[in-house]
Amino acid sequence: MHEQKMKVLHDSVRKLLHRSATSNLKNALSKIHPADIAHLFRFFEFHEQITLLDCVPELDRVADIMAELEADSVPGIAVLLDRDYLVKIVRTMANDDSAEFIRCLPDDLADEILAQLQDDIDDGTEELLGYDEDTAGGIMSTDVFYLGQKLTVKEAIEKLQDAEDYEMVFYVYVTDEHNHLVGVLSLRQLLTVPPSTQLGSIMSTNVMRVRTDMDQEEVAEIVAKYNILAIPVVDDQGKLLGLITVDDVIDVMRDEATEDILRMAGTTEEEMLLGYKSLQIAKLRLPWLLTTLIGGVVTGTLMWYFKATLQEAIMLISFIPVITGMGGNVGSQTSTILVRGFATGRIDFSMLRRVFLKELRVGLIMGLVCGFTIAAVATIWHQNVYFGVVVGVAMVTAITLAACMGVLVTAFFKKVGIDPAIASSPIVQTVNDITGILIYFSTATLFLPYLVN
């Protein structure tokens, strides 16, 4: 339904744009949500995007659109905008959005914008730019609503009614006189107690919180695990610095999932930013392709080593792709499941033994089913029951071993600090190709007297 809606919007906007129907375009864009306009931008050239922005007269709406753009789209459109206008846009954004926007700009343009903002830049924006972009400090908003613990409920409600400048108020955070986070209240609690009650006497002191240096992926895991709408960010001393809301967490989850998918494909998000620069993109992809290439050479060397067996029983060549392919597929499946488990927090090293044994059993079951099937095919095809045994044994062993290798290799890379999403798939595939060929030809060599007619 949403895709159909976006297609209709895209077709309508494109027609109006090509007809230069400016007044109609302004009217249409005024009724479209900023996030939908930002989504539409990806289907237009940069000069067309500028034209569309010119049809949005409200600066705050333009700021909302720019804040919703994909990171790889920001530089292309930003460099085409008038510098003074770009500065006004950044000033209008919420501090967390402006910090993220500035991070996306080319270094020289970011420095130029910051220089123009130097006198009146929001302290929150400047603070956020000092944190690593992948940490809690980098994604938090400093516009957090909090109250002192000595305030009464009546005073708290009055302040809450005036809290128009804050992005979202899901909870009321309570601090002491030194701004240390000491408690939290729900809005419901404020409405169900006497007005003269002090906040310190009704607040919950068990406050879920994160530190500024925590990785954003861990923050997302905590929010997802405890089903909370927002989580406060504190420094080493426990002082309240900011807030991470659920919309920020959704963005983190999407970005992390995209990053993992790209890495498993042997590339990175950096490739998206390179556009059509073929040489740089090739440099990003080549390392893991070369790993697979080396594995192919080793596999070929093993086959050459067993050339005598192959010459004696040429029918062995029939099932080489099946043995290596099935092992590679099973290994990649197991690796993907484990990478996902580590990423979502469903799997940790304390569970590794149990996960390994589970995958061993699963691999053995799948291996037996596939092994008996392929053994029957080999026996019928080549009219040799021993050949069926060779293929079947090789298949069972290769699939079982592949399932185990998917766990061990992924866990190893996770343990040594290498992202398993990058390294696991090509390494598992390569190792399984090598072991599959080794198992297949070793078994065939053992049964060779029975394979030669």
Domains of the chain in sequence order:
2-130 (1.25.60.10), 146-245 (3.10.580.10), 271-451 (1.10.357.20)
What value does the mean pLDDT take over residues 417-427? 72
Q: Residue 222 — pLDDT band, cuts 50, 70, 90?
A: confident
Name the residue with tokens 């790889």. Answer: 72
| Model confidence at 92: pLDDT above 50 | yes
Res 172: pLDDT: 87
Residues whose CB falls within 8 Å of the CB of residue 164, separated by 6 or more in sequence, listed in order: none
pLDDT confidence of residue 120? 57
Average pLDDT on 352-365 reads 91
Whole-number pLDDT of residue 422 = 66
Q: Is the pLDDT of residue 231 over 80?
A: yes
User: Tokens in use for 388?
Assistant: 């069926």
Residue closest to 78 by CA, chosen among 55, 107, 37, 57: 107
145 CB neighbour count, 10 Å cutoff: 17
Which segment, 158-162, 346-350, 381-385, is predicted with the most confidence on average? Answer: 381-385
Share of the chain above pLDDT 90, in %: 11
CB 37 within 8 A of CB 6: no
pLDDT at 140 exceeding the cut of 60? yes
224 falls in which pLDDT band (50, 70, 90)? confident
- The beta strands (E) that lie in 235-381 are given as 240-245
Per the structure block, which two tokens stand in for 446? 């053992």
Residue 271 has pLDDT above 50, yes or no: no
- Side-chain-facing half-sphere of 141: CA atoms under 13 Å: 22
- The phi, psi pair for 19, rounded to 5°, reads -85, -5
pLDDT given for residue 164 in this prediction:
66
Tell me the average pLDDT of the chain. 82
pLDDT at site 123: 55
| pLDDT for the residue numbered 209 | 92
pLDDT of residue 369: 94
pLDDT band at 277 (very low <50, low <70, confident <90, very high): low
Residue with tokens 């399984």: 432
262 vs 412 pLDDT, higher one: 412
* Residue 133 binned pLDDT confidence (cut-offs 50, 70, 90): confident
- Mean pLDDT computed over 270-299: 67
Q: What is the pLDDT of residue 261?
A: 57
Helix axes 2-18, 46-54, angle to 10 degrees: 90
pLDDT surpasses 90 at 366: yes
* N- to C-terminal Cα separation, the chain: 64
Round to whole Å and give the CA distance between 445 and 306.
8
Instruction: Indicate the pairing of strand 146-148 with strand 171-175.
Output: parallel
Residues whose CB is less than 8 angstroms from the CB of residue 237 and which lie 6 or more positions away in sequence, other chains included: 180
Q: Give the containing element (helix H, strand E) for 148.
A: strand 146-148
